[in-house]
A and B are shown apart, each in its own frame.
Chain A
Amino acid sequence: MRVRARKLAPALPLIKITVIPMHDSKTTIALEVNEEPVEVAFAPHKTLLEVLREDLGLTGTKHGCELGECGTCTVLLDGTPVLSCLVLGLACAGRRVKTVEGMADRGTLHPLQEAFAELGAAQCGYCTPAFLLASEALLAANASPSRDVIKDALAGNLCRCTGYIKIYEAVELAAARMRGEDASPAAESLYGYE
């Protein structure tokens, strides 16, 4: 009963390509990345993951399989979490992409980043960018998600370090703070039960 990719956007419609370029000749597109307009040239077979990492130098987006199985390469495309390894770069012309590098605001961490750091929800940190972005999309749609809603929203992302528990707690903590509450981690989260 695998539902890892369920919460992610369905395969995107390919934009109409009028000219099929040569294999190694580059195509240029314009798009918005982390709220800045960007023009980028790349070989047309490249995925959004490859364009971000190799052509735009945004290596915060990671990969775990490049087959759409693990969720590690999740970015936001027009606000929706997508697996960047399954999206063609060409399909992003004129669209809005957000990566982990775009989460902090002028040197201030996003409340999710803050909570992940505080609770140790990032251990090795490799899956963390994807979890942060998937969580951001969740909180944009639902400011007070229950634990079950969080689990469902993050079911498409694998983490091998944390057992997910600190991630749930971090999303809950960030959600509370984003609602304006003066929340801090429970003692049991950081020290265990008495």
Chain B
Amino acid sequence: MGTSKKTATERRPSELRVVGRALRKVDATSKVTGATRFADDLFLPRMLYAKLLRSPHPHARIVSIDPSAARSLPGVKAVLTGPDLPIPFGILPVSQDEHALALDKVRFVGDPVAAVAATTEEIATQALDLIRVEYEPLRAFPNAIDAVEHADPAIHDYADAGNIHKLIDLEFGDVDAGFRDADLVREDLFFFEGNTHLPMEQHAAAADWSPPPGGRLTVWSSTQTPHYVHRALAKVLELSPARIRVIACPNGGGFGGKSDPFSHEIVVAKLAMVTGRPIKITLTREEVFYCHRGRHPTLMWVKTGVKQDGAITGMHFKSLLDGGGYGSYGVASTYYTGALQTVTYPVPRYKFQGARAFTNKPPCGPKRGHGTPQPRFALEVHIDKLAEQLRMDPADLRLKHLVPPHSVTANWLRIGTMGLGRCIEKVVSGSDWKRRFKQLPHGQGIGLACSSYITGAGLPIYWNAMPHSGVQLKCDRGGGVTVFCGSTEIGQGSDSILAMIVAEVLGLDPAHIAVVTGDTDLTPVDLGSYSSRVTLMTGNAAIQAAERARDLIAPHVARKLEVPEGRLAFADGRVFDVEQPEHGLGFAEAVHLAEAAEGTVGTVGSYTPPRSPGRYRGAGVGPSPAYSYSACVALVDVDPATGIVRVPKIWIAHDVGRVINAASVMGQIEGSVYMGLGEALMEEMAYRGNRKVVHKIPSLLEYKSPTTLEMCDVVTYVVEDPDPNGPFGAKECGQGPLLPVPPAVANAVYDAVGVRIDEVPITPEKVFKALRRKEKGEEPRFGPTHFPDIPWPEPTRVPPPWEGGDGGAVEGGKGRQRAAEAARP
């Protein structure tokens, strides 16, 4: 911290006045004064409290439920069980497999079974103990391999095979021919343990119902996806969506964990309707672990052929995901474990086989990086091993083989700008890589890894031809402008992006822009805060709305000033003649002219991503308007006596396309590094290994996450390579920079002590075991040794662009991919 005199304007293109600056966020003051209202901060008159009874069994049939004793407890206003909410729901159209309260079966310890509304939380909690549930326990499946090997009893009555929820087999060119062309072929196995989002805010939701004939339902929730909650409520409650208002409260952290419609949201809505009173539910921290939807534990096998210079000739990648008890985003997650291998280094022939198993654990879903940190870990460690065999510096190998910008990959993803080369150069020079790699004393090491991530998904979760994001703009007579958008502020700064972009286009002070977001009654649909889509999609919609406002106002100003419209500029709160800047009007006066002539001044804008060239079934996952790129170098200290790994410093460079709010970009990159470090070293969802399948540590103390004492120093480089599809060229920065951190740490551990930890988290126990093996002359490695046999389907064969073809399949998987499979975060 110093007293640097370098101002914001020196760091951004001169024509931009707002974009690129480090501005305080529009909600910064309410966040630092405690004024921000999170969902649990709502207290409504006559409000009741709800609690959920959750299953103590990982897998069981419900024989009977008797809620009568609970119903007669004084203060209890209602008790609900499964049959009260019989319609299934789920985030993806292909896996509508959840019930708000279990109907006939429970599928994990923590699965909701019954709900109580009472005058106090204490009474509601007491009532839960009075609900008698008789279960018939079923064989439980503690992990994916067990579920692959045993089809009986089936966890769900739908699946691609036995307890395998989803099977994917995609082939882009003849990989075996690729391996024959190679000078070196290598196979490796990796495992990425599951972990969870751990937002500091526990999920909460409140509901209010105005009785018929008005009959309107309002639900406030800590959700990242109010639009999908709106749809799920309408479906399950059999209520017209026109009578439901969903308000997404600011989220106290999301990271993907608040992206599904949840049982508790549906239950409070129903309880408000049944009791006629407002009601709130706040989950305990333990319950947040049961909501989960976090990182899938993923077993991976990868085989790659390379030429002597490191050029890849072919790659075959297999993944097995442990999905937990329900579908959630899992089909999309499974595709994502195979989608982005091709977007960093050219892969001319590529085969991907992915499987997701149902198990009896809390459902997995989208966590920051959705399905891609696991394969990225595998790929980047695998490449580190290949580089060593080729006697190449791993940074040089990567720099020599970068996917060209504005190209199409083997799996038909269209790449825009590509700043990975500059990112690698930044971290290599900043970390003094050339003088440190392989040259640090034993116990110290340095490792490098790279990655890429989508900036929003190319297709919506449910099939429709409408825009992914909408913005409405209202110009006030006072000169202020209000932006309405369905996006959800989860701490990433999305509200501020809207204000800054509108301010830039209309030449206003961002403080004069009011932002209204995340309210299905007030704001046009934005699909939600997931898949790193918000800046790009709402930003483009906001630019369109603001440009339309400019076009609406300009002719009236031009007439008044008697200058051609084309000579008008909107800047510094004025509209003026660029050739005589003193000749102009204030923005408010300009609005008056337009309003007098045209009526109320309001505009709309919307955004739909460009069509992807892929035409095969499964092509819905992976396409994005733009790809961000990251490179990371980690410095580690490994204690050979204990296996304890400490990470003193990380260098990270991220290609964000164009910075919109510099302070937010820095915060997103540093926060991603932090979360990646936690996943690399300590974070894991741990269950008892026997058939009880109980979460060992559903608490913030024992689920280890980095504190100030474990967090490393971070040196951040922001690389700008503006993408034509981004607003002002902007790409994402909230998820991508997490991805290279775990493999960089693993590669650094190898550089430090010569053992490969092919599994995250890299705990002291694993390092210690690998060091012992090394001492005994065994393979100096800790990691999986076996990938199970999986009944893969016939492959969908899609020729890569350089082998002709039109992006469609020549064999298997004909026809357009289903919209349902197009999901993502």
Contact = CB atoms under 8 A, between A and B. Distances in A.
A99 B34 contact: yes
B104 interface: no
A117 B709 contact: no
A187 interface: yes
B700 A193 contact: no
B1 A161 contact: no
Contact of A67 (B24, B35, B252, B701): B701
Q: Interface size for chain A: under 10, 10 to 19, 20 to 34, or 35 or more residues?
A: 35 or more
Interface stretch (B197-205, B544-552, B773-781, B787-795): B197-205
Contact of A164 (B36, B252, B674): B674
Interface stretch (B271-279, B357-365, B468-476, B710-718): B710-718
B701 A128 contact: no
Given A155-B707, A192-B666, A70 B491 contact: no
A192 B716 contact: yes
A101 B34 contact: yes
Contact of A124 (B24, B201, B699): B201
Contacts of A72: 200
Interface string A92-125: 0000000111011000010001101111101111
A169 B667 contact: no
A126 B667 contact: no
A189 interface: yes
Contact of A64 (B22, B36, B200, B662): B200
B200 A158 contact: yes
Q: Interface size for chain B: under 10, 10 to 19, 20 to 34, or 35 or more residues?
A: 35 or more
- Interface residues of chain A: helix, strand, loop or mixed (majority): loop
Interface in B660-682: 662-667, 669-675, 677
A116 to B, nearest CB: 5
A143 interface: no
B25 A120 contact: yes
B285 to A, nearest CB: 4
Contacts of B492: 123
Contacts of A150: 708
Interface string A55-68: 00111111111110
B174 interface: no
A156 to B, nearest CB: 8
B32 interface: yes
A176 interface: yes
A171 B186 CA distance: 49
B666 A125 contact: no
A160 B31 contact: no
B671 A161 contact: yes
Contacts of B713: 165
Contacts of A54: 43
Interface stretch (A11-19, A76-84, A178-186): A178-186
Contacts of A101: 33-34
B192 interface: no
A62 B29 CA distance: 17
Contact of A123 (B2, B11, B493, B709): B493
- Which of B250, B677, B709 has the largest count of A CB atoms less than 10 A from its CB? B709
B671 A123 contact: yes
A88 interface: no
B32 A186 contact: no
12 contacts: A54-B43, A57-B43, A62-B38, A67-B700, A124-B253, A125-B491, A126-B201, A132-B32, A150-B708, A162-B670, A192-B666, A193-B715
Given A64-B202, A116-B28, A155-B708, 18 more contacts: A60-B34, A65-B701, A66-B285, A101-B33, A109-B32, A117-B29, A119-B663, A123-B671, A124-B250, A125-B36, A132-B32, A155-B707, A156-B707, A162-B671, A165-B713, A183-B1, A191-B659, A191-B662
Interface of B: 1-4, 6, 8, 11, 22, 24-25, 27-38, 40-41, 43, 197-202, 250-255, 284-285, 430, 490-493, 659, 662-667, 669-675, 677, 699-701, 704-705, 707-709, 711, 713-718
Interface of A: 1-4, 53-54, 57-67, 69-70, 72, 99-101, 103-104, 109, 113-114, 116-120, 122-129, 132, 150-152, 154-166, 168-169, 172-173, 176, 181-194
4 closest residue pairs by CB, A with B: A60-B34, A124-B491, A163-B674, A126-B252
